[in-house]
Each structure stands twice: as C-alpha cells, then as structure tokens.
Amino acid sequence: MGGLTGQRLIALFLLGCLLLNYPLFSLFAGPGEVFGIPLLYAYVFVVWALLIALMAFVVERRSD
Amino acid sequence: MLTAGVIVLASFAYVGLLFAIAYYGDKRADAGRSIIANPYIYALSLAVYCTSWTFYGSVGRAATSGIGFLPIYLGPTLMAALWWYVLLKIVRISKANRITSIADFIGSRYGKSHLLGGMVTVIAVVGVVPYIALQLKAISTSFTVLLQYPDMATPYYDSAPLFLGDNTFYIAMLLAAFTILFGTRHLDATERHEGLVAAIAFESVVKLVAFIAVGLFVTFGMYGGFADIFQRAAAVPDLRGLLTLGGAAGDYTTWASLTFVSMLAVLFLPRQFQVAVVENVDARHLSKAAWLFPLYLLAINVFVLPITLGGLLHFQSAADADMFVLSLPLSQGRVSLALLAFIGGLSAATGMVIVETIALSTMVCNDLLMPVLLRMKSLRLIERRDLSGLLLAIRRGAIIGILVLGYLYYYLAGEAYALVSIGLISFCAVAQFAPAIIGGIYWKGATRLGATCGLAAGFLMWVYTLLLPSFAKSGWLPIVFLSEGMLGIDLLRPQQLFGLTGLDEITHCVFWSLLANIGCYVGLSLVRRPGAAEHSQATLFVDKQPSAAGSRFWRGKASARELAGLLGRFLGPERAQEALAAYSAGSGKPHGDGVTADAALVHHVESLLAGAIGSASARVMVASVVEEEPLRVHEVLEIIDEASQVLAYSRQIEQKSLELERASTELRQANARLKELDRLKDDFVSTVSHELRTPLTSIRAFSEILNDNPQLDTPERKRFLGIIIKESERLTRLINQILDLSRIESGRAEWQLSDVDLKDTIENAIAATSQLFTDKNVGLQAHLPPNVPTVTADADRVLQVLINLLSNAVKFCARGAGRVEVRLVNEPNQLRVEVSDNGPGISKSDQPIIFERFRQGRDTLTDKAEGTGLGLAISRQIIAHFGGTLWVESELDCGATFAFVLPVTARIETAAARAIAAPA
C-alpha cells in the first residue's frame, strides 16, 4: 500500500469536507447562475466531479 | 393505459431475468471462472446503496428542500476517499477471520462476545425494518400510480385490509421467496453469493439506465435542456427558494450532519457491509471502486433536480413529488418509458431488500438465535447429527419474519413519512455501530464493556429521540409525548431533549445518540484493562497482519473424525469432506478418521464453522467436541520456558563464538611464534654458514700462497701451515660443537651418568687449561673445600663446561694483570661453582645475549670476538640437563662471575653406592 497514495486520498477527503461545508459553501449558496444553471447547483456538481476525477487520478496512477 | 396484467408480467419477466443472471453467475463461480471478480462489478454491487429512496425519494425531497437531498450522496463520496484505510482494513480483517456480518465483526472484535453480537443484530433489525418498509411502500405506490394514473390522488393503503387483502403483502412475500431462492439455497462456509452479486450489479445498471432515460426525456423532451428548466423555475416565486441554500433547504448544520451520517451509513448499513466486505472477491478491487462508486452516485443524481423542477412546473404542486419519475412520462403518454421507470424503481427496491434481508437473516441466525439455541441444553442441539437443515430453516424464517416486520411498519406507519425521512431513521440507527468498529480496528484498549454500553446507550437515545417520535407521529403513541415529553416533563421532550432546540430531528438524534455512544464507549473502556480474550482479538484486529498465533495457545485433544462430524452437521457431510480434503491437500498433512487433530486443524475447522454460524457459536461448538484444556499457569510457564530455552541456546552460541574467537587469537599467536622461529632458524643457518666460511677462507688463502710460491722459505712455510692446521682444528671444533648442540637440543645426546666429585673435576679442568694461564701470564686461584658431596652427572660433560668457563675467563683477562678465581661452595642440597675474572665485565644488556648461539660479548678493547660463540649455549644446556642452572653476575669494568649450581646426589643412593663400593 503506497503511503503517498493514502495521504493524497486523505488530503482529498479533507479538501472535499472543506469545499462542501460552511463557510466556503456559503459563498455559492446565494442566487446567481452559470450558463443558465443556478450557481449553487453548478458549484456542488463541479466540486463533486472534480473530487471524483482527482480520486481516479490518484488511485490509477499509483505505482504500487 | 397499462393493465395490471401487463405490469405484473413485465415485473415477473424482469425477475426471471435476474434469476437467469444469478444462476449463470453461480454456475460460473462453481466452474472457477467468476464473472464478478473485477472492480467494475464490485462498484456496481456497491451501488445497492441507491434504493428506491434514491430512485423516487430524491425527487420527493428535492421538491421540498432543493439541493438538500445531496448530502446522502456526498457523504459516501467523501468516505470513498477514506476506504483506502478504513474499508481496506475491515475487508482484510474479515477475510482473515471469516467474518460474515457486521454483528459477527463487532462480536468477534470484543472477545467473541455473544451479547454484543446479539445486540448489534437487534439494533440492525430494528433500525433497518423501516428502511425495508420504505422499499415496500415504493413498490406498492409505484404500482398503484402506474395502474391508476391519472387518479393517483387516492392513497391506496387507507382502505386496504391487512395481509391477504393487500397487494403490498403479496409483494413482500414475493420478495421473501425471491430472497430465499437467491440467498439460502445452500449453506456455504464463506457465506458468499456470486450469482446474487451478479444480479445486484445488473440491477444497478437497470436503475441507472431507467433514471437517466427519464431524466433525458424530461430535460430534453419536455423542456429545452437544463438551462431552460432552471430559468423557468427561477421565474416562479415558489420555486426560487429551491435554487439556493438556506431557508427551505435547511441550514448548514443539517447539511453537515446529513453528510456525516451518510458517511457512516455507507460503511455500516448491513447490506453495504455484505456487498463491500463479505462478498468482496479481492481487496484490490477497492481502490478502483473508490472512484467508480462515487461516479455512479454522481450519474444517478444529475437529473434529480431537472425532474423535480420539471414536475413542479408541470403539475403545479409538490404533492406526490415522490412519484414524478413515473407520472411525468405518463402525463406525456409515454407508457413504455413509464414502465421502464417502474422496472428501474423495482430493481432499486428489490436489490436493497434482497441484500439487506440476507445480511440480516445471517445475523439473526448466527449471532442471535444459534447462540441461544445451542445453549439451551433441553434442545440437545449439540448432539444432533445434521444441523445444516436447521440453519437454513432459521435463515429462511428470519427472511420471512423481517419482511413481515417491514410490511407491518409500512402498513402502520408508512403514511406519516416521506421516503427520505424513513431512510434517515435507519441511517441514524446504523451510525451507532461506528464507534465500536472504527475504534475497534484502531484502538487496542477498547473493551467489551465499553462497546456494549456505548451501543446500548446510543441505541436507546436513538429510540427515544427518533423512533418513538416517528411512532407518535403515526398515531401509535399519544402526540402529547412529542409536545410535552415523557411523563409531562418538559426537559424530556424527545426532539428537544434537555431543552436543546434549533436542530432538525436528524441532527438532534445524531448529536445525542453519538454523544452517549462515544461517551460510554471511551469512558468505560478506560475503566479497566481488556481481558485476555478481548486483548487477543484486539491484537488480531488492530495489528494488520493476521497471524497464526491463535492456534499457538491451544491445548486440547480431538480426533479428526469428530471434527469432520461436527463440520458435517453444519455444512452437510459432503461439503465438510471436501473442505477437509482441500485443507489436507493444502497443508500436506494427512487426514482421515484415525488422525488426531492438531491445533492448526482445530483452528481451521473453527474458522470454517465461523463462516457458517458465526465466530461465537463456532467456538461453543468446537469446544463441545474438543477436550479443550484451558491454558493453565504451568502451561503458560512452559511456553515461557521454551522461550527462555531459545534464549539460553542463543547464549550458548554466543559463548561458542567467543571461544572460537579466543582459539583463533591463540592460533594467530602460535603462527606468529612459528614465523619467528622460522626466522631464527634462517638466522642460525646463515650465521653457521658465516662461521664455517671464516676458517675455510683463511685455510684456502694460505693453501693458495703455499701453492703459488714454492720458493717460500721454510719458517714462513711452517708458519702458514701452522695457521692452516689451527684453522682446521677450529673448523673441526666448530662442527663438533654444532653437532653437539643439535644432539643436546633434540635429546639424542648420550649421557653417561655417574656420581661425580666436583672437586676432582675442577682440578682436572685447571690442569687442562694451565697452559693457557701460563701463556697469558694470568694468575689462577682455586678455593676448594676438602669434603663435598657428589653430584649425579656425566663427568666429561661437566669437565667440558668447566674448561669452557676457564678458557673464557682467560680470554677476557688482560695479559699479566689478569686474575681468575675458581670457588666451590657447599650449599644445602646443591653445590655451587663460581669462575670469576677481573676482565672488562659484561654489560647488563649483553648478559642474556651471551648464552645464545653465536652471540658473543664483544671484547671492548680489541672489539674482536674469539671462539666459536657456541660454548656458553652448550654449557647452559648441559647444566640444565643435570637439573642445575648456569648464570652470570657482572658489571662493566668490574669483572664477571660465571656460576652454576648442581643438585647433590640423594643420600640413600650415595649410601648404597658406598655399600656396593666397600667390598671392592
């Protein structure tokens, strides 16, 4: 088990907790829109997709 | 529209397809070519997380709280990042210890505790039954909607009679039959169901496809894409609140607590534990599944909001938003799409029910009923020959029982709650397992007492703050229980416990129950040390690598036949034989009836049994056939003794190596000495050659002169011949002395021992050397006492020594002024002879050297050595041979005294010699 991969995943976990909770979350909770999509929805789904992509990247490129 | 017949037919066709897949999966597994042994199938089977709650309920919750449904899926996404540590460890522990359920896991961790396993089972059943009810409600409602659309306003179950008159009851029983066929066809020690997992993975594909199909239809068929729907919704004042957080969506606290609870639920729901841990084929699949599973969750949630807003825009009402997935296609006349959506919802519900009831029935059987039944001596279960039938019957009964409970909950309480709320009640219940499990795999100090009390406290808190209020809202309890608290005590209001307000009911319950749970768990674990059984299990769970140490501490006797019999009673005789044969082939040990089982075999059988009936029950059963002797103090001491023997052995080795080192040091020294001797020998040979060459050279030189000059006059010729003769004599003497010395040194010299009168010998020596003294004009004085005892020696040899000493003395004396004294001293038991001169003396540093071969003290006046250089060496050897010593006392310019002592002849011998001599 590569120690670095584990640490990266924990970092991603913490990043996710940070981005998807108060107070950062509140910055995007108000009205507004991006390409016709409400800012809140766009933010949550983009962060979510980003987290998954990063996890896939970290897991798949591990050397062990 | 659709008739009931078509819907039922489609449903049965779908279920038939599932059976075919499951059957195929089992066949492939039996053939050793698993179709589920890859991370994609594993991730899809994990998606059993998405139930009809996801399929219908997300839309329902989104209709009232906008994005508030998402934490249920964001939590698992975040948790997936931690799987690498947490879930991987749980999977490894479970594989090593043949854990078959979450109750088994917790019970096993805390010393194979029956009580704890039973408690976890009760909590799981009580906590999950509402969740199963939710699935039944979803299937029933969706069926009704599909059948009666558009007259869907009338709730179906109000007027329906209980049980036989109710469609939902039939659905429940069908699901039970389905589960029994899938999950309990036979008993397997590994408790894995490959065909079932294949079917579940297929169901996950179906529900995803169905939901996305509806989503695409609504988004792009009914409206003009995402932006269109959102912009239309933004135009409606009532819907605007759904597009932001706060207000209707609840506050950030709710958001965070829902995320947290679902993080725990995705690990500890019995069905998630079943697919993620028990059914796991290869722990390595986890890493890829860690991003595939969140990706699945993301995909199935993309269209939730468009469908919600589309439905709200279309129907102008949030009522029955749970069923928008069906009603929107129906409203557009898309019957086949609606049927597909129904099948998708059905697959979501059936997948959950099947896996959940299998997991629960295993727990009820292994951790709740079997331990109790096995202990009831009146049932005499331990003596029954074949228990596998009983086990299967218990599991099947448990499946039916759990579904009946679910049905009853649905029938009595289903109306009061939306789908999502029911699900969250279950989430909070299983969150109670988190401290015992997470703590259990990372903290060795956690004890059974702490885990038991923590679970109990958390569970009671959950019952009081969430379950009882749900009953009250359903009318089972007086509603004043909610508003005024138990017994009318204000502080005990279940949803504002101790006056805590401002939290929603889920957050409120999570806070109080986990506070009580973790508080008791940690607090009581710290009260005392874990016991021996707890400690050994803790080591197994916390330390990563599973060891065979468990069998080390086993002392008992059992025959292989009894163990095979025991195994046969639970697995069936054939499977038992197969399992034992496989073990014996793997371990290389013989098996058969006559063999006495060793600790490893007993351990193996226990773990096989643990797979079938749980670790706690397996221990009881194995103990029933094994004459297990508990480890006594002296046996522990023996084990310790063995350890100390090993220590002693290693100490011995250490000592040996020290000895070796010493021996090698000695060898090295001996070698150095040998080298030195070798060098000395070389020196000796070269010195001897040199000493021989000197006289030879002068003999040759004078011979050549005589040869080349025949006209030399006679006196000259005579002188030269004299030199040649003298040098030849010297050469002869030298060679004789060398031969003499080597004879003495090698012990081959001939000694003619007799009683020697030293006084006579000294006089002889003086007589022999008198010419030397006269020639050099050196005075000689002899002090000889008249009567001295004899010594035992060779008279000629002693004479040789004396002549050598006397001639040496003359040699170093000055011509004319020289004085030499010879003294014989009678000492007790020995005689001392001294030869003193008044020559130049010998320096202290030269004194030891002069006794060595060819080493001479230098004549300080002429710096010319005379003699052969062997005399003193030979003398010392001779005196030593007769038991005496020879030494020198001297100082520079004060003359030198050579002295030796010889022991006198023993008196008896002397007397005898006289007696013999007397007649002659």
pLDDT tens digits for B878-907? 888 888 889 888 887 788 889 999 888 875
How confident is the model over B110-114, as a mean pLDDT? 82
Look at B245 and A40 and tell me if their CB atoms are within 8 Å: yes
User: What are the E-state strand segments in chain A?
Assistant: 33-34, 37-38
pLDDT of the residue at B190: 60
By the 8 A CB rule, do B35 and B280 touch? Answer: no
A6 in contact with B at a CB cutoff of 8 Å?
A: yes
pLDDT value, residue B907: 59
Residues of A in contact with B228 (CB under 8 A): 36
Q: Is B559 exposed, middle or buried (0-12, 13-18, 19+ CB in 10 A)?
A: middle
Joined together, the tokens standing for residue B834 give: 């001294």
Return d(Cα B408, Cα B405) in angstroms, integer.
Answer: 5
CB contact under 8 A, A36 and B226: yes
> Hey, are the CB atoms on B81 and A16 less than 8 Å from each other?
yes
Q: Between chains, do A36 and B231 touch, taking CB under 8 Å as contact?
A: yes
Statement: residue B143 has pLDDT above 60: yes
Question: How far, CA to CA in Å, does B333 sit from each of A1, B338, B413, B493, B711?
Answer: 54, 9, 33, 49, 163
User: Which residues lie below 8 Å from residue B901, measured CB to CB, with a gap of 6+?
Assistant: B827, B830, B831, B832, B833, B884, B885
Read off the pLDDT of residues B467-505 as tens digits, 9 standing for 90 and up: 888 877 777 777 777 777 777 777 777 777 787 777 788
**Which one is predicted more confidently, B347 or B570?**
B347
Tokens of B676: 């030195």
The 3-state DSSP class for residue B792 equals strand
- Give the count of Cβ contacts less than 8 A between chain A and B: 100
Percent of chain B with pLDDT over 90: 14
pLDDT at residue B591, as a whole number: 59
Q: Confirm or reject contact between A9 and chain B (CB < 8 A).
A: yes
Cα distances (angstroms) measured from residue B1 to each of B88, B340, B458, B691: 50, 14, 50, 140
> How far apart (Å, rounded) are the C-alpha atoms in residues B554 and B749?
78
8 A C-beta contact, residue B271 and residue B354: no
β pairing state of B819-827 and B779-783 = parallel
Nearest C-alpha neighbor of A21 from the set B254, B549, B597: B254
Chain A residues inside the 8 Å CB shell of B234 = 33, 38
Report pLDDT for B177: 86
- Do the Cβ atoms of B230 and A45 come within 8 Å? no
> Rounded distance, CA B384 to CA B573, Å?
13
pLDDT at B702 > cutoff 70: yes
Tokens found for residue B501: 């307000």
Cα distance between residue B461 and residue B249, in whole Å: 26
Q: Residues of B with CB below 8 A from A26's CB?
A: 245, 252
CB contact under 8 A, B291 and A9: no
And the tokens for B807? 């001639």
Residues of B at the A interface (Cβ-Cβ below 8 Å)? 66-67, 70, 74, 77-78, 80-82, 84-85, 88, 226-228, 230-231, 234, 240, 243-246, 252, 255-256, 259, 287-288, 290-291, 294-295, 298, 302, 305
B724 within 8 A of B704, measured Cβ to Cβ: no
Distance from CA of A64 to the nearest CA of B (A): 11
pLDDT above 50 (res B651) = yes
Contact between B117 and B367 under an 8 Å Cβ cutoff? The reply is yes
Cβ–Cβ contacts within 10 Å for residue A4, how many? 11
Q: Decide: helix, strand or coil at residue B477.
A: coil
Tell me the pLDDT tens digit for each residue of B753-768. 888 888 888 888 888 8
Nearest-CB residue to A5 (from B84, B226, B231): B84
* Beta bridge partner(s), residue B779: B819
Residue B341 CB neighbour total at 10 angstroms: 29
Q: What are the residues whose beta carbons fall under 8 Å from the beta carbon of B349, sequence distance 6 or more?
A: B51, B52, B55, B135, B136, B138, B139
For B282-307, what is the mean pLDDT?
90
Strand ranges in B202-303 using DSSP code E only, listed in sequence order: none
Give residues with Cβ within 8 angstroms of B198, minimum separation 6.
Answer: B21, B22, B24, B25, B35, B36, B41
What is the pTM (predicted TM-score) of this model? Answer: 0.65
In CATH, B754-917 is 3.40.50.300: no
State mean pLDDT over B812-817. Answer: 82
DSSP reduced 3-state for B820: strand
Residue with tokens 């005689």: B831
CB B186 within 8 A of CB B396: no
C-alpha distance from B234 to closest chain A C-alpha (Å): 9
- The helices-and-strands tally (H runs, E runs) of chain A is 2, 2
Q: Tell me the β-bridge partners of B404.
A: none
Find out whether B329 and B338 touch, Cβ atoms under 8 Å. yes
Q: In CATH, what number does B634-746 get?
A: 1.10.287.130
Determine the angle formed by the axes of helices B871-881 and B714-746, rounding to 10 degrees. 30
CA distance B455 to chain A (A): 27
Contact flag B252-A21 (C-beta cutoff 8 Å): yes
Residue owning tokens 């599991």? B395
Domain boundaries, chain B: 4-247+283-377+389-415, 554-628, 634-746, 754-917
- A62 CB near a chain B CB, below 8 Å? yes
Taking a C-beta distance cutoff of 8 angstroms, is the pair B612, B571 a contact? Answer: yes
Q: What is the pLDDT of residue B547?
A: 42
For residue B150, is the peptide bond before it cis, meaning its omega torsion is within 30 degrees of 0?
A: yes
Report CA-CA distances (Å) from B9 to B1, B14, B182, B233: 15, 8, 20, 38
**B561 burial type by CB count under 10 A (0-12 exposed, 13-18 middle, 19+ buried):** middle
Give yes or no for A42 touching B (CB within 8 A): no
Structure confidence at residue B814 as a pLDDT band (50, 70, 90): confident
Q: Which two tokens stand for residue A35?
A: 């390409």
B312 to chain A nearest CA, in Å?
Answer: 17
Residues of B in contact with A59 (CB under 8 A): 287-288, 290-291
Q: For residues B287 and A59, is the Cβ–Cβ distance under 8 A?
A: yes
Q: What is the CA radius of gyration of chain B?
A: 56
Q: What does the alpha-carbon distance between residue B746 and residue B448 come to, in Å, rounded to a whole number? A: 88
Tell me if residue B772 falls in helix, strand or coil.
helix
Residue B907 three-state SS: helix
Lowest mean pLDDT, pick from A5-19, B98-112, B535-549, B691-705: B535-549
Who wins on pLDDT, A16 or A3? A16
* Residues paired with residue B750 on neighbouring β-strands, in sequence order: none
DSSP structure string for B643-704: HHHHHHHHHHHHHHHHHHHHHHHHHHHHHHHHHHHHHHHHHHHHHHHHHHHHHHHHHHHHHH
Indicate yes or no: CB of B78 within 8 angstroms of CB of A33.
no
Q: Cα-flanking dihedrals φ and ψ of residue B559, to 5°?
A: -90, 150
Residue B385 pLDDT greater than 70, yes or no = no
d(CA B490, CA B529) in angstroms, rounded, equals: 40
Mean pLDDT on B556-576: 75
Task: Please choose, from the candidates B211, B267, B289, the residue with its C-alpha nearest in 3D space to the C-alpha of residue B45.
Answer: B289
Q: Do A52 and B77 touch (CB under 8 A)?
A: yes
What does CATH list as the number for B4-247+283-377+389-415? 1.20.1730.10
The CA-atom distances, in angstroms, between B181 and each of B178, B369, B392, B737 are 5, 21, 11, 117
Strands of the sheet with B830-837, listed across from one edge: B779-783, B819-827, B830-837, B896-903, B885-890
Helix axis angle, B86-97 relative to B102-109, nearest 10°?
80
Residue A36 touches chain B, beta carbons under 8 Å: yes
For residue B651, the cross-strand partners are none
Read off the pLDDT of each residue in B550-574 and give the average, rounded to a whole number. 67
For residue B483, which amino acid is it?
S
Q: Which residues of A touch B244 (CB under 8 A)?
A: 29-31, 38, 40
- Which two tokens mark B324? 């928008």
Residue with tokens 């030593």: B880
**Residue B434 pLDDT grade (very low, low, confident, very high; cuts 50, 70, 90):** very high
Contact by Cβ (8 Å): B82, A10: yes
